[in-house]
Structure 1
Amino acid sequence: MVGFGTKSVRGKVVLITGAARGIGAGVARDLAKRGAKLALVGLEADELAKVAAECGPDGDRQVGWWEADVTRWADLEAAVAGVLEKFGRIDAVLANAGIAATGFTRSIDRKAFERVIEVDLLGVWRTVRVTLPHLIESKGYVLLVSSAAAIVHIPGNAAYSAAKAGVEAFGNSLRAEVKHLGVDVGIAHPTWISTDMVNNADAHPVFGKIRAANKGLAGKTYPLSVAVDLISAGIAARARVVHVPRWVGFAKLIRALLPRIVERQARALVPAADEAVLKDIAERGELESSLVGPGARAAARSAGAL
């Protein structure tokens, strides 16, 4: 595929899920400046339309948007059909749609926990399955957004960690399956990035305090621009892996030691937090205590939970 080898996305059709906010919206804006043609897919139609307008004027052949729930096959198939009708091909996919729910396993809202798995893991699988024939045709590239949470598994984040670890494993298997077809597969591992999701998690009355107690690199929140720059460059280069920021790659080298480190740190925090979250649930309800940010609320509405 001409262009990607020179680290350029100019003229390439890039489909981005979860494009209404956060990393997806930021990467869309950046790739538009680089001359890519953008297919924006996600929930929150008003937000998608805003991002599309920032990427190109109304009626511009360089950008289009499609409202779709990545957990629904019919939604994705309709969106991809629309992309093909508008652009004629798909050269790259950023499988970025993701939500979070916070809570301890014994008390988190059941539907909120399972919705994270459905969106963050099964949504990635469905996005890949629907777009893969077109990536094979274009000998394209797909970047799956996993997380540093796939490497470091903190209490109160079990659903998200499980889903993102699954994305990493899925991506590694997929890469070996499609290399001979000319398709390259990358996996992105962002840590805490300043997005609506992370900022709302930090505002949680219980789990925000746990996060604040985690000092050092793993507890730092990085500007959105850090993720946008590295992920956009990764798409242009058809990168095998994108660490956001780069120190996340070093965490992989000590992955086997991390659970014990997390457990040791948790001893001082979790007992009191366990009691506090039960009080929060009694006051606000399981679902309200569990949902994190507007993206999770949109996903809950789409699933009929709100």
Structure 2
Amino acid sequence: MKGSWNLEGRVAVVTGAARGLGAGLARQLSDRGMSVALLGREASALESVAETLRTPAHVVEVDVTDDPAMGFAAENVRRHLGAPSVVIANAGVAEGGPFETSDPQTWRRVVEVNLVGSAVTARSFLSGLRATRGYFLQIASTAAFGAAPMMSAYCASKAGAEAFARSLRAEVAHVGVGVGVAYLHWTDTDMIRDVEHHAVLRELRGHMPAPARRVYPVAQVSARIARGVERRSAAVYAPPWLRLAQLGRPVFPMAVDLLSRRELPRLMAEHGFEQTGLLGTGGRVEEASLGRRAAADTRDRRQEG
């Protein structure tokens, strides 16, 4: 995967492209001459991003966890833009709070979007990537190798997404498809801005070493990831120092355990941590969808009864 890859004239697919990092990635890839398909739950927000791009763009409103809908989305993209050379599984949601009192539906949705949605994305677009000998990039997080208390769904989903991408890489390398994992830290999206509104996440961030508390601009992070796409990198680190953090993976669990044993009893007594719900504007869109789904299920059960 060494060397530079010319992206000019190729097609990219970005999930979760309505705002934040997904929108930033769409702009970076468009600036490199790629036509971009923007996938997500909010057509109007996706259209707004598409209007800012310099190259042809195509919007598909879709739930990345819906296998049939994503299959149709892949065909839709192929008809309008052509077979993709780059697919970025960026769609993601997060929530925080004690696992014991977590809402099962919300907890499950985090795993569905972050892990299952990434797998559905890869399955839907893999034939196109085979045709172009393309590149699939899984957006992960430091949560993939540094599991934190009060973030069980997010950490589990990102660790699973990392493992999925590594497995896929070994499976498709012989057909010329590259697979990479992007490791991010605190990035200035609306999801991260919600951190300051919730004691559980404020404390989580506050107990990190000072350098690890820094929040990075979307433009900086997306530019770093786009350079990784150009290189078809197996691992992309944004910021770059996260590469060094990988070396600490064997000791992170012990360090987290020791700190949690010392600090959590006091913090829980002071704050009485509550569930955050799904974070950010995208999270609220997902929660509204969950509410509609629950209401439909209740209506169906009443009709069956």
- Residue 75 of structure 2 corresponds to which residue in structure 1? 81
* Alignment equivalent of 2:182, drawn from 188, 194, 202: 188
- Residue 173 of structure 2 corresponds to which residue in structure 1? 179
**What is the TM-score normalised by the length of structure 1?**
0.90
State the Cα distance separating 1:290 from its structure 2 match.
2.4
Q: After the TM superposition, which residues 109-258 of structure 1 pair with which residues of structure 2 at under 5 Å, given as runs? A: 109-258=103-252
- Residue 278 of structure 2 corresponds to which residue in structure 1? 291
Q: After the TM superposition, which residues 19-30 of structure 1 pair with which residues of structure 2 at under 5 Å, given as runs? A: 19-30=17-28
- Render the CA deviation track for 1:225-262: whole Å, top value 9, x for unaligned: 22111111111111111011112121221211001111
State the Cα distance separating 1:181 from its structure 2 match.
0.6
Q: Which moved more, 1:124-133 or 1:44-53?
A: 44-53
- Residue 298 of structure 2 corresponds to which residue in structure 1? none
Q: Which moved more, 1:29-38 or 1:294-303?
A: 294-303
- SS where residue 106 of structure 1 aligns? helix
Amino acid at match of 1:295: G
| Cα distance in 2 for residues equivalent to 1:273 and 1:111 | 26
Unaligned 5+ residue runs, structure 1?
none
**Percent identity of equivalent pairs:** 37
| Cα distance in 1 for residues equivalent to 2:199 and 2:294 | 22
- Residue 36 of structure 1 corresponds to which residue in structure 2? 34
State the Cα distance separating 1:45 from its structure 2 match.
1.7
Residues 117 and 163 in structure 1, CA contact (< 8 A), matched pair in contact too: yes
- SS where residue 66 of structure 1 aligns? strand
- Render the CA deviation track for 1:125-166: whole Å, top value 9, x for unaligned: 000011001111111110011111101111111111111111
| Cα distance in 1 for residues equivalent to 2:115 and 2:195 | 20
Q: Which moved more, 1:181-190 or 1:80-89?
A: 80-89
Amino acid at match of 2:31: K
Q: After the TM superposition, which residues 101-112 of structure 1 pair with which residues of structure 2 at under 5 Å, given as runs? A: 101-112=95-106
Aligned residues: 292
State the Cα distance separating 1:26 from its structure 2 match.
0.4
Amino acid at match of 2:223: D
| Cα distance in 2 for residues equivalent to 1:143 and 1:260 | 30
Residues 37 and 59 in structure 2, CA contact (< 8 A), matched pair in contact too: yes
| Cα distance in 2 for residues equivalent to 1:197 and 1:38 | 23
- SS where residue 38 of structure 1 aligns? strand
Amino acid at match of 2:278: L
Is the aligned partner of 1:267 residue 2:265?
no
State the Cα distance separating 1:206 from its structure 2 match.
3.2
* Inter-CA distance 186–225: structure 2 relative to 1 (3 Å threshold): same
- Render the CA deviation track for 1:40-91: whole Å, top value 9, x for unaligned: 00112221111111114xxx7x111111110101221121111011012111
State the Cα distance separating 1:215 from its structure 2 match.
3.0
- Render the CA deviation track for 1:2-46: whole Å, top value 9, x for unaligned: xx9643311110000011111111011111111110000011222
- Residue 10 of structure 2 corresponds to which residue in structure 1? 12
**What is the aligned-residue RMSD (CA, Å)?**
1.9
Unaligned 5+ residue runs, structure 2?
296-305
Is the aligned partner of 1:53 residue 2:68?
no
Amino acid at match of 1:152: G
- Residue 60 of structure 2 corresponds to which residue in structure 1? 66
**What is the TM-score normalised by the length of structure 2?**
0.90
